[in-house]
Structure 1
């Protein structure tokens, strides 16, 4: 069986298999070498993610497969960073708990699969004006349920946890804000990604996977390429 890469996160991960999504792009990129498996859950924060880890990654998936997955991306924080006094307060997770939860998620994955590469991704920046145009819940306050300042604090915490644990991290919050007009170029509703925003995530994840030794040049394909098949004796390529 092919090796796997799991994508674990909230709606930004769940939506990543849509047209032009970063998960779909990863699937296309690794189409002959790796199965990319989606585990995205819209609206989830790290507190909820911890509660469902055994269901998302049950012990049974280790039985009869090709071994440990190559990598798991962990992409939470956008919901944790909802403000506790706004309309999405039920999704809020305090900053110190967010850090603890990230450590616990990584610990679970590394205990299950010691050689698997775990990659953290920070929450993206927030376009507060965009969030007011596309509220998810009844918002009578007229204030955005997320702010870019709060998202930045959670992004810094995510980076700190990654450094503490010695694992790679995509600093999406900083990366996107290096570009002009990032609010409309990368975010469709102030939070979720446009095609260009998805491209940024895809490129950053590929760069880190390549640095970790997971590239098309290093990963074997599971069946012969057409160029390896002899037109005179095609079946020879499939002999074991």
Structure 2
């Protein structure tokens, strides 16, 4: 059986199999080595994710099948919504956010003890981009998210990862290292452009490699055509 890589998160995960998405790039990258399983839930915060994590993981690995090789947990963008702005019902206080992350990771560890769990922080927020976004109902003239709040949740996510001894991708800090990150990486102040997806894809591949799950380390699924005897190709399938 091919190993599985599970992506658990909010809309940035749900959209990741779209054109240019980081999940689609992972599926292509590991196309002969691993299956990428999408479990993304647009608008969800860690409070709701904790409620549904059991159902979300049903069917990922049936009984008798090896557990996933790795799982990404990518929440916080919705938790960091300001409570007194539009979409405030998505807000989760910072201490609860950390508690929920711990509980989600504990569930995954208990279910699949060998699975590598990788936390991903919420991304930075372009407040101007959020104000220009017309997909929601925001009549206040104020962004429902701020980069300062996102940064606080990113730091809290890193702290939980360090506490639990888990690998973490601080995408908030990573993106801020680039000039014009606001428009280059975020199409609406929150969700990723193709360039933003590419940054996260590269970070996930690096982190998987650090955990022994590189393209080179994983075996090819079924014989490679280059390894077949051109005079007797079917011999490759005898074992």
Tell me, yes or no, if the aligned pair for 2:37 and 2:60 is still in contact at 8 Å: no
**CA distance in 2 between partners of 1:12 and 1:96 (Å):** 23
1:52 deviation in Å? 0.4
1:140 deviation in Å? 1.6
Number of corresponding residues: 239
| Other-structure match for 1:232 | 231
| Other-structure match for 1:77 | 76
| Other-structure match for 1:6 | 6
| Other-structure match for 1:191 | 190
| Other-structure match for 1:178 | 177
| Other-structure match for 1:40 | 40
Q: Kindly tell me: are residues 60 and 28 of structure 1, through their superposed partners in 2, closer, same or farther at Cα, counting changes over 3 Å?
A: closer
TM-score by length of 2: 0.98
Displaced runs of 4 or more, over 6 A: none
Q: Which runs of 5+ in 2 are unaligned?
A: none
1:63 deviation in Å? 1.2
**CA distance in 1 between partners of 2:50 and 2:103 (Å):** 8
- String of CA shifts for 1:52-93, please: whole Å, max 9, x gaps: 01111127833142x110000000000000000000101000
1:168 deviation in Å? 0.5
| Other-structure match for 1:55 | 55
What are the residue-to-residue correspondences of 1:96-115 with 2, within 5 Å? 96-115=95-114
Q: Kindly tell me: are residues 145 and 55 of structure 1, through their superposed partners in 2, closer, same or farther at Cα, counting changes over 3 Å?
A: same
1:3 deviation in Å? 1.1
| Other-structure match for 1:146 | 145
| Other-structure match for 1:220 | 219
What are the residue-to-residue correspondences of 1:86-101 with 2, within 5 Å? 86-101=85-100
- For the aligned residue pairs, the C-alpha RMSD in angstroms reads 1.1
Q: Kindly tell me: are residues 46 and 25 of structure 1, through their superposed partners in 2, closer, same or farther at Cα, counting changes over 3 Å?
A: same
TM-score by length of 1: 0.97
- String of CA shifts for 1:127-150, please: whole Å, max 9, x gaps: 000000114431121000000000
